[in-house]
Chains A and B, each alone.
Chain A
Amino acid sequence: EIVLTQSPGTLSLSPGERATLSCRASQSVSSSYLAWYQQKPGQAPRLLIYGASSRATGIPDRFSGSGSETDFTLTISRLEPEDFAVYYCQQYGSSPPLTFGGGTKVEIK
Chain B
Amino acid sequence: QVQLVQSGAEVKKPGASVKVSCKASGYTFASYAIHWVRQAPGQSLEWMGWIIPGNGDTKYSQKFQGRVTITRDTSASTAYMDLSSLRSEDTAVYFCARSYTTSSEFDYWGQGSLVTVSS
Query: Dominant SS at the A interface?
Result: loop
Is the C-beta of A93 less than 8 angstroms from some C-beta in chain B? Answer: yes
Interface assignment of B46: CB less than 8 Å from any CB of chain A: yes
Q: What class of interface size applies to chain B in its complex with A?
A: 20 to 34
- Whether B111 lies near A44 (C-beta < 8 A) is yes
Q: Which residues of B contact A47 (CB under 8 A)?
A: 105-107
| A102 vs chain B, min Cβ distance (A) | 5
Q: Least Cβ distance of B67 to chain A in Å?
A: 15
Q: Which residues of the partner chain A approach B112 to less than 8 Å between Cβ atoms?
A: 44
Contact: B109 with A96, CB < 8 Å?
A: no
Taking a contact as CB atoms under 8 Å apart, the answer to whether A101 and B111 are in contact is no
B107 contact set on A, CB distance < 8 A = 47, 50, 56-57
B103 and A93 contact, CB distance less than 8 A = yes
Binding site for B on A (CB under 8 A): 33, 35, 37, 44-47, 50-51, 56-57, 88, 90, 92-93, 96-103
Q: Which 4 A-B pairs have the closest CB atoms?
A: A50-B105, A44-B109, A35-B105, A100-B45
